[in-house]
Each structure stands twice: as C-alpha cells, then as structure tokens.
C-alpha cells in the first residue's frame, strides 16, 4: 500500500512568465506521472506548504508536467520565487476530471477567466487529440487586461487547427488591443451553437463562474450540460481533511469537475 | 481496505468469573500489551494506561470515558509520512457503544478503497477493542435518540457485559476470538450458549428505558436532519452569538475528524486535528470563504452531522454521546437548539 501523504519529487526545469502575477512551472517528475485532464495535484514546497493545482499541460505527456500558478497568497508567493533546478513534491493525481468521452459527437463551448485558463489548456490539448470525434471546440476567454491574458501563443495556434475557434475579451483594453472589451459572457453573443448538442465548460474565478453559469442557463443550456471546475481549499486531496467540503461532497474526491446539476443545491455555491 | 467483522451469527459467547478476568488482565499488562481502560478521576471516568498502580481501578459498564475513542486512532498531532510500527499491541477496554458507532464513520472516511490512510489502518489493526455495556448513564447521554443501543454490537472485537459474578464476553471478529483463546490458555473461560446473553438483557432494557424517557422530547435522526436542513438563519445567529469558536465541541466529538496537513522538511507531513469551527477553515487563496461568518461555521457542524454525512455515508454522524454539550464553555446545548427548531 502506498502512503497517500508521501510525495513524488519533481525538478523545476523552466519558469515561464505568463503575466505580471502568473507563472508557469515546467516540472520533470522523478518517474512518469499520469493524469487525466481536469484532475488536480497537491504541489509541495519542501517544509513550507502545499497547495492544489490542476496541471495546465497535456495529459498525453507523462515525463513533463506544467503547473500555472497565480500569485495570490502565502504559498503561491513562495512558489513564484522558485528557480529552475529546485525540487518540489507532487501528490496525486486526485479527483474527477473532465469526462472527455461524454463530449464525443458534440460541440464544446469553453468559458474561461483569468488563471482558470490553466486547467482549460490541458483540456484543450486533450480535446485536440480527439478532435475527429467532436463537432466544434469554441474557447471564450476573458482577462482583466491584455497583459493579464495568459498563454498568448495558444490562441493563434488553436485558430489554425480545424474545428477550433477562439474569442478573447478584456475588462480594460490597452493601446493596440483589437479584440473584444467587456466581461467574458459578452463573447457568448458572438458564437452560434446548437445548444441542444453542446456541452459548456466553465472555469475561472468564482464571480465569473457564477455569472457565466447564469448566462448559459438563460441561453437555454440545461443544468447537466454545464461543467464547472470548483475552487475549494483542497488540502489532503483524498476526502479526509474536510477543508473542501461542499455540502455532502468532498470537492477533492467527487470533483473538482461537477455538472451544475450535481451541485446546484449547495448553499453558498459561488463563495 | 476494510477491517473484518463477523457477519451473521458467527460470534461466540464466553463467561468468565470477574475475579479470574481481573487476574488475567493483570498478567497481560506486564507482557506484550499496552492496555488502556477507564478509571475514575475527578469529574468522571477516563482512559488510563493500566499498570501495577492502576490495575485495580478499572471501572466497568459505566458511561462514558471523557476522551472519545477517535483519539487513539487520530491523535491530535501525528507525522503521517513516517511509519512507526509499535511492537506492542494495544487493548482498549471500556469503549462505549456510541464511540464504536462513531468509529464506523471514521473507518468509512479513512479506509476508503482508493485512498486508505496507512497510519490509521495500522493503529486500527494493532488495537483490540473491548467495548462495554453502559449500565449507568450521564446527564447528556442520548444514544437511543439516534437508534444506537447503550450496549455494544458489531464494530468492536469483543463486547463485555456483566452481572455481579461474571463477565460475558461476546466476540465480534476473528481477532476477538483469538484473544479469548490466548486468555483461555492461562485461565478459566467457558464458552456458553449465546442465549445466555439474556441474563443481562434485563439490565440493558433498564438502561434503554431510562435513556428513552429522559430524552423523549429530542427528535430522532430523520426529523433532526430535516429540521436542520430547512432551518432559517435566525436560530444559528441566536445560538452562535454565545459561541467563541474554541472548537471544543469538535475536539471532543467522536466523529469530528477534520485535520490540517502541515509541511515539514524532507517533504514530511504532519496531520493535526482541525475543525470547521475555526476561522478560515475553508478559505481559499483568492480570499473567498463560505464559512467566514461565525453563524455559518456554527451551522456547518450541525449540517455535517445531521444532513451531509448521513446523506453521503448512510450513517448518522452524531452518536448522542453528549460530550459537546458537556465541553461547551458557553453552555450551548445542541439539543435545546434542535428542539427549538421543531
């Protein structure tokens, strides 16, 4: 039996600046690391702290792992000081990721905000691999400003791939910005989907998840067509410590990906 | 991974003279076992390590040790990345039925098939549980309210009931039967017909009757679940206004198991008991915190006990031990709150 609290060591190979407060860490695990897209890991700073992140890299690659981290608190600030060559600890993968096979034959609408694009990038890699089995993949992404927009090369790359379409918006434009301005839900007016044959994936800050879901419901999406990636304080990752309880659910074990149908009755869902 | 208990009617009943039992336990305490049993202290009874000085003080068939049984399997602080196996086995005598019931929920959480907790499992496997009937109860005992009898059943290794002359030992696991065999090699233990348990059923019924009468106005499992789920905000504000978030109710609760995982050099992890009653329990890095308000934290514990855990695990997460009522420094009585909701 393996000890669920022991880590797999991984070395930082490269640190990529994505935005003023977001960095991507390319990790080389000491042995191949498999995960399904949307599942998360617990990443440890030796003797300092541990936090949950969903890999932003392709689930098809097992010798390298990319984690995108926004500087937002005590532990993430320390992550941002990391240099290549340093050693981190990985536990996982944990939880239930995106049910990609359930998307077969359908159009996939992805609504992302801010650093919520990290798990979505991994999902996009997974969807690219099975694009023959999908109708269309539409990515709508919103960030605060153009310089807060992460994975800039991703969009032009996706736009060159058959079946993929991307749309971007920012709250505050900067000189030279030629794309949309406004909250991410405004992009939904630009895309025409066959709603009855579409699944919607929403991932971003809680307020964006809330208004994104409300807008999708108004447009006619059913509760079980909307997939949410919930952000809670997953600490042990294995359904024991209780910090990520959301009603009867352990987000770490039952999620982090839920349909809106599954969680809609949870009190304070968006907090 | 699950611990194995007898199903159906595989258990056996043994009878041993109280004096003989006492001598056998004495002989054990100096050999290869750590023995813990309740002895009387200032306020009531609590577990103590049984040695030459304490061996004559073991209290049988009284409710209930101050320390909940969980503490032996989920100590307040434990390094969970180091596996230390204790050469000595542990015998816990005197765990009440309510705590055995609480252990079932802990097993469901800590020994789930995909992510079994190694340190919890090794402690469970290394411990022999001798649970005892409660013949006298304490002020806030209300196990029968939630369908739990004041005497042990499945979940312990051996249950111990007594009359004036003898102890009756019923085995509930192979581990229990092996232990009886071991004892029998150095003393007189008779296997008796299982129907003999009836000699103590009169006493059991008396305890049930007194508990049921005392607590007849407290609603049972299902009604409590419903009224807690459907409650408005006012009641929680009212009762939580006295709460100081000390977390004593959780610390003393036989089914509260939430913990904090602390990082130590060498990627070691230390597990420390935590509670949703403390501020920032659910806070995420971005700052959102569904339990920021004291009244939300206060309600969360009741929702967990009476609504969420029962829904998820199909077991009640309050065993009616009443320890939270005794431990509350603000004298919040959860049964008064529940009765006010009716």
Angle at B317 between CA B312 and CA B323, to 5 degrees: 165
Same domain, A24 and A67: yes
DSSP for B107-131, written as a single string? HHHHB-SSSB-HHHHHHHHTEEEEE
- Indicate the SS3 state at residue A1: coil
Q: A240-254, B9-23, B26-40, B57-71: which range is least confident on average? A: B26-40
Compute the nearest-CA separation of B289 from chain A (Å): 6
User: Which residues of chain A are under the pLDDT cut of 50?
Assistant: none
The pLDDT of residue A35: 98
Token couple for B225: 């679940």
Instruction: Please answer yes or no on whether B282 and A232 come within 8 Å at the CB atom.
Output: yes
Name every chain A residue with its beta carbon within 8 A of the beta carbon of B79.
none
Would you say residue B55 lies in a domain? yes
Kindly identify which residue of chain A lies nearest to residue B80, measuring between CA atoms: A5
Would you say residue A32 lies in a domain? yes
Name every chain A residue with its beta carbon within 8 A of the beta carbon of B289.
271
CB proximity list for B19: less than 8 A, separation 6 or greater: none
- Asked if residue B2 has pLDDT above 80, the reply is no
- Asked if residue B297 has pLDDT above 60, the reply is yes
Domain boundary among A37, A64, A94: A94
Instruction: Please answer yes or no on whether B290 and A205 come within 8 Å at the CB atom.
Output: no
- The total domain count for chain A is 2
pLDDT band of residue B88 (cuts 50, 70, 90) is confident
Cα diameter, chain A: 57
Same domain, B60 and B95: yes
Give residue for tokens 């209300």: B142
Q: Which of B221, B41, B71 is nearest to B142 (CA)?
A: B221
Same domain, B191 and B71: yes
Name every chain A residue with its beta carbon within 8 A of the beta carbon of B258.
241-243
Same domain, A137 and A193: yes
Give the structural domain span for A69: 8-94
Same domain, B189 and B236: no
Of A5, A51, A243, the CB nearest to B285: A51
Q: In chain B, which among 103-122 make CB contacts under 8 A with chain A?
A: 109-110, 112, 114-118, 121
Same domain, A209 and A107: yes
Over residues A127-147, the pLDDT tens digits come to 999 999 999 999 999 999 999
- Asked if residue B148 has pLDDT above 60, the reply is yes
Give residue for tokens 């036989």: B254
Cα dist. B45→A220, B135, B208 in Å?
62, 14, 21
Same domain, B252 and B132: no
Same domain, A126 and A238: yes
CB proximity list for A98: less than 8 A, separation 6 or greater: A36, A37, A38, A123, A126, A201, A227, A257
Would you say residue B193 lies in a domain? yes
Same domain, A160 and A248: yes
Domain boundary among A37, A61, A94: A94
Domain boundary among A41, A65, A94: A94
Would you say residue A1 lies in a domain? no
pLDDT band of residue B12 (cuts 50, 70, 90) is very high
Catalogue the E-assigned strands of chain B: 13-17, 33-40, 45-49, 77-79, 89-95, 127-132, 158-162, 166-171, 190-192, 259-264, 268-273
Instruction: Please answer yes or no on whether B266 and A47 come within 8 Å at the CB atom.
Output: yes
Residue B72 to residue B123: CA distance in whole angstroms: 8
Compute the nearest-CA separation of A200 from chain B (Å): 24
Same domain, B24 and B82: yes
Interface check B230 vs A, CB under 8 A: no
Instruction: Please answer yes or no on whether B258 and A243 come within 8 Å at the CB atom.
Output: yes
Of B117, B283, B304, the CB nearest to A233: B283
Residue B315 to residue B139: CA distance in whole angstroms: 24
Q: CATH number, domain at A13?
A: 2.40.30.10
Would you say residue B317 lies in a domain? yes
Catalogue the E-assigned strands of B12-58: 13-17, 33-40, 45-49
Over residues B240-287, the pLDDT tens digits come to 999 999 999 999 999 999 999 999 999 999 999 999 999 999 998 888
Of A5, A49, A50, the CB nearest to B80: A5
Same domain, B291 and B184: no
Cβ(A119)–Cβ(A95) under 8 Å?
no
Would you say residue A268 lies in a domain? no
Same domain, A80 and A111: no
Instruction: Please answer yes or no on whether B1 and A1 come within 8 Å at the CB atom.
Output: yes
Interface check A238 vs B, CB under 8 A: yes
Same domain, A71 and A166: no
pLDDT band of residue B29 (cuts 50, 70, 90) is low
Question: Quick one: average pLDDT of B142-166?
Answer: 93
Residue B130 to residue B155: CA distance in whole angstroms: 10
Same domain, B255 and B176: no
pLDDT band of residue B31 (cuts 50, 70, 90) is low
- Asked if residue B141 has pLDDT above 60, the reply is yes
Residue A67 to residue A23: CA distance in whole angstroms: 8
Would you say residue A3 lies in a domain? no
Domain boundary among B176, B194, B214: B214
Would you say residue B1 lies in a domain? no
Same domain, B227 and B337: yes
Would you say residue A245 lies in a domain? yes
Same domain, A87 and A139: no
Would you say residue B194 lies in a domain? yes
Cβ(A129)–Cβ(A80) under 8 Å?
no
Would you say residue B2 lies in a domain? no
How far is C-alpha A54 from the chain's CA centre? Answer: 6
* Other CB atoms within 10 A of residue B330 CB: 12
Domain boundary among B156, B183, B214: B214
Q: CATH number, domain at A232?
A: 3.40.50.80
Task: Tell me which H or E stretch contains B251.
Answer: helix B248-251
Same domain, A82 and A126: no
Same domain, A136 and A17: no
Residue B54 to residue B32: CA distance in whole angstroms: 17
Buried-state track B39-57, b at ≥16 Cβ within 10 A, e below 16: beeeeebbbbebeeeebee
DSSP for A81-112, written as a single string? T--TT-EEEEEEEESB---GGGGTTSEEEEEE
Name every chain A residue with its beta carbon within 8 A of the beta carbon of B308.
245, 247-248
Residue B238 to residue B243: CA distance in whole angstroms: 10
- Asked if residue B48 has pLDDT above 90, the reply is yes
Q: In chain A, which among 106-135 make CB contacts under 8 A with chain B?
A: none
Q: In chain A, which among 166-225 make CB contacts under 8 A with chain B?
A: 205-206
Give residue for tokens 């610390």: B251
Supply the angle between the helices B334-341 and B221-229 in degrees, to the nearest 10. Answer: 70
Same domain, A65 and A131: no
Same domain, B72 and B101: yes
Interface check B305 vs A, CB under 8 A: no
Domain boundary among B214, B243, B262: B214
Residue B247 to residue B317: CA distance in whole angstroms: 17
Compute the nearest-CA separation of A238 from chain B (Å): 6
Residue B95 to residue B58: CA distance in whole angstroms: 12
Residue B336 to residue A215: CA distance in whole angstroms: 44
Name every chain A residue with its beta carbon within 8 A of the beta carbon of B286.
72-73, 205-206, 231
Compute the nearest-CA separation of B337 from chain A (Å): 21
Residue B176 to residue B192: CA distance in whole angstroms: 16
Same domain, B139 and B250: no
Give the structural domain span for B283: 221-341
Token couple for A178: 């030629």
Radius of gyration, CA atoms only, chain A: 18
Residue A266 to residue A271: CA distance in whole angstroms: 11
Query: What number of C-beta contacts closer than 8 Å exist between A and B?
Result: 115
Same domain, B67 and B198: yes
Cα diameter, chain B: 66
DSSP state of A6: P
Residue B145 to residue B147: CA distance in whole angstroms: 6
Name every chain A residue with its beta carbon within 8 A of the beta carbon of B116.
1, 4
Interface check B223 vs A, CB under 8 A: no
Supply the angle between the helices A152-159 and A117-129 in degrees, to the nearest 10. Answer: 30
Name every chain B residue with its beta carbon within 8 A of the beta carbon of A232.
282, 284
Of B118, B260, B304, the CB nearest to A1: B118
Kindly identify which residue of chain A lies nearest to residue B305, measuring between CA atoms: A248
Compute the nearest-CA separation of B65 from chain A (Å): 25
Name every chain A residue with its beta carbon within 8 A of the beta carbon of B109.
239-240
Interface check A22 vs B, CB under 8 A: no
Would you say residue A2 lies in a domain? no
Supply the angle between the helices B118-125 and B97-110 in degrees, to the nearest 10. Answer: 140
Would you say residue A29 lies in a domain? yes
Kindly identify which residue of chain B lies nearest to residue A92, measuring between CA atoms: B115
pTM over 0.95: no
- The total domain count for chain B is 2
Would you say residue A120 lies in a domain? yes
Same domain, A224 and A156: yes
Q: Which of B125, B142, B145 is nearest to B134 (CA)?
A: B142
Q: Where are the alpha helices (DSSP H) in chain A?
A: 74-79, 117-129, 152-159, 206-219, 251-254, 260-263
Residue B231 to residue B118: CA distance in whole angstroms: 39
The pLDDT of residue B11: 87
- Asked if residue B1 has pLDDT above 60, the reply is no
The pLDDT of residue B69: 97
Name every chain A residue with its beta carbon within 8 A of the beta carbon of B110.
240
> Dihedral through CA A147, CA A149, CA A152, CA A154, nearest 10?
180
Same domain, B87 and B203: yes
Task: Tell me which H or E stretch contains B180.
Answer: helix B174-184
């Amino acid at each position: 039996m393996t000890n669920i609290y022991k880590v797999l060591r991984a070395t930082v190979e490269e640190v990529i600046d994505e935005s003023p407060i977001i960095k991507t860490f390319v990790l080389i695990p000491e042995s191949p690391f498999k995960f399904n897209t949307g599942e998360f890991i617990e990443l440890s700073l030796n003797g300092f702290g541990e936090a949950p992140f969903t890999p932003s890299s392709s689930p098809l690659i097992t010798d390298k792992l990319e984690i995108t981290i926004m500087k937002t608190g005590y532990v993430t600030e320390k992550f941002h000081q990391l240099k290549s060559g340093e050693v981190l600890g990985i536990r996982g993968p944990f939880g239930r990721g995106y049910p990609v096979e359930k998307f077969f034959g359908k159009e996939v609408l992805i609504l992302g905000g801010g650093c919520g694009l990290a798990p979505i990038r991994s999902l996009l890699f997974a969807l690219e691999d099975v694009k023959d089995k999908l109708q269309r993949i539409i990515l709508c992404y919103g960030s605060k400003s153009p310089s807060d927009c992460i994975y800039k090369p991703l969009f032009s790359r996706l736009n060159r791939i058959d079946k993929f379409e991307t749309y971007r918006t920012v709250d505050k434009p900067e000189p030279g910005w030629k794309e949309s301005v406004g909250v991410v839900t405004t992009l939904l007016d630009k895309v025409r989907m066959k709603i009855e044959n579409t699944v919607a994936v929403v991932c971003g800050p809680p307020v964006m998840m809330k208004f994104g879901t409300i807008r999708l419901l108004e447009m006619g999406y059913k509760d079980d067509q909307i997939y949410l990636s919930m952000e809670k304080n997953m600490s042990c990752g294995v359904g024991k410590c209780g910090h990520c309880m959301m009603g009867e659910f352990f987000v770490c074990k039952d999620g982090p990906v839920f349909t809106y149908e599954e969680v809609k009755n949870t009190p304070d869902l968006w907090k | 991974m699950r611990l194995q208990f007898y199903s159906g009617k595989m258990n056996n009943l043994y009878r041993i003279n109280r004096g003989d039992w006492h001598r056998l336990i004495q002989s054990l305490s100096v050999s290869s076992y750590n023995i813990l049993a309740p002895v009387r202290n200032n306020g009531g009874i609590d577990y103590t390590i049984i040695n030459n000085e304490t061996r004559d003080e073991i209290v049988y068939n009284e409710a209930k040790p101050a320390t909940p049984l969980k503490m032996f399997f989920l100590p307040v602080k434990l390094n969970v990345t180091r596996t230390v196996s204790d050469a000595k086995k542990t015998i816990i005598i005197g765990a009440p039925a309510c705590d055995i019931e609480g252990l079932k929920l802990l097993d469901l959480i800590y020994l789930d098939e995909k992510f079994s907790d190694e340190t919890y499992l090794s402690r469970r496997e290394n411990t022999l549980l001798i649970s005892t009937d409660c013949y006298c109860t304490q002020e806030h005992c209300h196990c029968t309210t939630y369908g739990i009898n004041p005497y042990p059943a499945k979940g312990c290794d051996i249950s111990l009931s007594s009359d004036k002359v003898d102890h009756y030992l019923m085995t509930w696991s192979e581990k229990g039967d092996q232990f009886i065999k071991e004892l029998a090699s150095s003393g007189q233990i008779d296997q008796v017909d299982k129907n003999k348990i009836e000699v103590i059923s009169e006493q059991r019924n008396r305890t049930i009757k007194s508990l049921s009468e005392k607590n007849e106005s407290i609603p049972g499992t299902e009604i409590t679940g419903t009224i807690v789920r459907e409650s408005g905000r006012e009641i929680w504000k009212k009762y939580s206004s006295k709460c100081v978030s000390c977390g004593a109710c959780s610390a003393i609760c036989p089914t509260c198991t939430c913990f904090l995982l602390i990082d130590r050099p060498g990627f070691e992890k230390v597990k420390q008991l935590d509670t949703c009653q403390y501020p920032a329990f659910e806070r995420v890095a971005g700052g959102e915190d569904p339990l920021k308000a004291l009244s939300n934290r206060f309600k969360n514990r009741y929702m967990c006990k009476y609504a969420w855990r029962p829904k998820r695990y199909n077991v009640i997460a309050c065993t009616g031990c009443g320890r939270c009522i005794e431990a509350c420094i603000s004298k919040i009585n959860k049964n008064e709150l529940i009765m006010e909701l009716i």
